Chain A
Amino acid sequence: MHVDGLGSILNFIKSNQNLDGGWGYRIGSASLVEPTSFCILALLSGGEERLAGLGRDYLNTCLKAPGGIGTSPYDPNASWMAYAALLAYRALGETDQAKSLISWILGFKDGSDLLTSADIKITKRLYRFDPSISGWPWTVKTSAWVESTSLFLIALARAGVPLSNRRMVSGSSLLLDRRIPSGGWNFGNPYSKNFQMDATALSTSLALVALAATGHTEKEAAILSGIRFLQKSLLSRDQSVIALAWGLIALRSFSPRDTLVSTVGKYLNDLQQDDGSFRGNPFESALAYIALSDESLIISSPGIF
């Protein structure tokens, strides 16, 4: 993308910062931790440290006493949006907050240890995955899913948590266990009874980025079939901003020089609106900015894991 295009994304983000320093998922909507964190990443990449600092101040108001972070200051509970805050605090160099979030995330558990042996047996039979493998849920003590597990793995890996960490190992095992045999991932059910479920571009992209971040390579059959599914999906020209952005990061994670990278980048570029945004959505605009310019904020070293 031309610098002008990237600059206009930044201008959109800058001009739509809420008075509390944060951003929501729509212009004028209430600030939340996930969109604010991604806008901070984009602003840091663009050298806008003062506005990123205001975003950090907003994030600080969302921190919870035990170490997690809510979706907003008004949220009584810590939430899954901690993954995004961890990426932002790391990029901001706020090591104390990052360490605190890492600790909270590693203690944020799914409900796998609440399942009975009968539950596990039924799930294995009907859905053909192993629910006893722990990953990350969206809400505490519920099931782990592909996208939530992927997001936490990505953030933890970027923050330097050792890949040998027990939860990192288990999380990537979960992703491999939930893959769809024909290639790719969906939200987390490869089968339902006798039916193989369809993969989706977004879930597949996130799983691939997470697996790259945790040291897996395209020599593994699951990764290779996932990349093939993603390549086919992204070329359909029928994908959303969020799928194209994460898809671009996923492709760069494995094959940064692939010609498809520039094609998908062009497809994503084409969705930019006249106001510089992607769908008028600060979160998606910031994610697109990162995907098009500086994925190092999310993945540490593209192509050389």
Chain B
Amino acid sequence: MKHRSLKRRQFIGALGTTSFALLPARHSPISRGLLSGKSRSPKPHQVAIAECNNYSAQTLFGALHSGWRHALSPDVKNRHVVIKPNIVDFTPDKPIETDARLIEALILLLKSHGAGKITLAEGPAHNRDSEMIFHKTGYTSVAKRQAVSLIDLNYDDVQWIQNDHHQGRFFEHVYLPETILSADVFISVAKMKTHRFAGVTLSLKNMLGILPGMMYGWPKNIIHWNGIPRSICEIAGLIKPHFVIIDGVVGMEGYGPLLGKSKQAGVLVFSDNALAADSTAARIMGVDPVRVEYMRLAQRFGLGSTRSQDINIYGGSIDSFRTNFDLEEPFEYLRAPKNAHP
């Protein structure tokens, strides 16, 4: 399918003038900077890598402290922080979702930094039964223990974000959840996995989970019909997390994102720029980000850079963490040559 690239200026102009509330019952102000076509992160982007070999509270807390300190982490004091993990579905013994223990450790970190209200928010993609998924993945227990809200984005109040200058774009308008739009600080915590359609799934693709199921269904099939790379970039271009963390403690290789095998990478990746974090995580997985179609497109969208010379890495070198993830046959071409970081 042929796509036309989107000019960044068009994106910014369109969004600046035409976002409005569709469902006015609980209209909340949109957080400044969350809806923006512009990459907030100047080049070179700053990415932190932290070794994290298991999900024990002590190990997680140490790694989170390190990454939070070395990356451009947001000021959360007295602010409403919304955390968006990746909980696409649940299968016992498969590392499909961002591990709930990591999220609990992050909540504790945010509390230690004086965060105000903290909300966990996700819209599982395949299954309307979010109650079951949240329960079985341990998120219901975490929310209860830490006294934070757990919002099912599939049923959240929504606003309709329209783009008048949709030239060739698939999403002329997008329904977005108020919980996300009203966040003071929005943090994406993705899982490091291979993906049967996209090659890899990391922070940028994690953003597809914010699309509310009640408007797009289960699965959110419109993104498949529109093309996954383009859909990822259009949604990730609309809503930019203030900070991203990638859970590579145990990821998934092979036939991901649901049916692959566990792969221990023993690492957390942090950044204020999703594309820079994803490019770094891809390199750790032995994948060349330039060969991943949606990352290449994201760079053209102005969402940041995949180039290693545009990314400063703190906490260790990619080579010291590199653990090649098995790639299924259609995606073997994504493999990065050893020690090559274009």
Contacts and interface: CB of A to CB of B under 8 A. Distances in A.
Partners in one complex: yes
Given A71-B214, A74-B160, A139-B216, A193 B255 contact: yes
A232 to B, nearest CB: 15
B126 interface: yes
A145 B135 contact: no
A143 B221 contact: yes
Interface stretch (B21-29, B40-48, B52-60, B238-246): B21-29
A279 B152 CA distance: 12
Contact of B129 (A24, A26, A32, A243): A243
B216 A138 contact: yes
B132 interface: yes
B135 A238 contact: yes
Given A71-B215, A80-B217, A142 B222 contact: yes
B122 interface: no
Contacts of A210: none
Given A18-B25, A187-B127, A195-B259, A138 B136 contact: no
Given A192-B259, A238-B136, A137 B217 contact: yes
Contact of A142 (B23, B127, B217, B258): B217
Contacts of A147: 128, 218
Interface stretch (A1-9, A37-45, A198-206, A217-225): A198-206
Contacts of B128: 147, 202, 242
B255 A202 contact: no
A142 B225 contact: yes
Nearest to A74: B22
A277 interface: no
A159 interface: no
B127 A240 contact: no
Interface string B152-189: 00011100100000000000000000000000000000
B163 to A, nearest CB: 14
A148 interface: yes
A34 interface: yes
A147 B22 CA distance: 26
A24 B157 contact: yes
Given A28-B25, A139-B217, 10 more contacts: A29-B25, A30-B157, A31-B25, A74-B23, A186-B126, A187-B126, A192-B196, A201-B129, A202-B127, A202-B132
Contacts of B214: 25, 32, 34, 71, 81
Interface of A: 18, 24-26, 28-32, 34, 71-72, 74-75, 79-81, 111, 137-139, 141-143, 145, 147-148, 186-187, 192-193, 195, 198, 200-203, 238-243, 279
A142 B217 CA distance: 10
Nearest to B220: A138
B310 interface: no
Contacts of B91: 198
Interface of B: 22-26, 91, 126-129, 131-132, 135-136, 155-157, 160, 196, 214-219, 221-222, 224-225, 255, 258-259
Contacts of A279: 131
B218 A240 contact: no
B221 A138 contact: yes
Contacts of B255: 192-193, 195
Contacts of A26: 155
Contacts of A200: 127, 129, 132
B217 A148 contact: yes
Which 3 A-B pairs have CB atoms at the shortest separation, nearest pair first?
Answer: A138-B217, A30-B25, A240-B131
25 contacts: A24-B25, A24-B157, A29-B25, A30-B23, A30-B157, A32-B214, A74-B24, A79-B215, A80-B217, A81-B214, A137-B221, A138-B218, A139-B215, A141-B225, A143-B221, A143-B225, A145-B217, A145-B218, A147-B218, A193-B255, A195-B255, A202-B129, A239-B132, A240-B129, A242-B131
Nearest to B130: A240
Contact of B26 (A29, A111, A239, A242): A29
B129 A242 contact: yes
B219 A187 contact: yes
A76 B214 CA distance: 15
A208 to B, nearest CB: 15
Contacts of B216: 138-139
B45 to A, nearest CB: 35
A192 B218 CA distance: 17
Contacts of A74: 22-24, 160
B129 A30 contact: no
Contacts of B196: 192-193
A117 to B, nearest CB: 18
Nearest to A206: B128
Contact of A28 (B26, B136, B215): B26
A240 B136 CA distance: 11
A200 B218 CA distance: 13
Contacts of A79: 215
A72 B23 contact: yes
Contacts of A28: 25-26
A195 B155 CA distance: 30
Nearest to B258: A192
Nearest to A240: B131
B171 to A, nearest CB: 12
Contacts of B155: 25-26, 29
A74 B23 CA distance: 6
Nearest to A196: B259
B97 to A, nearest CB: 15
A175 to B, nearest CB: 16
Contacts of B258: 192
Contacts of A202: 127-129, 132
Contacts of B126: 186-187
A79 B157 CA distance: 16
A243 to B, nearest CB: 6
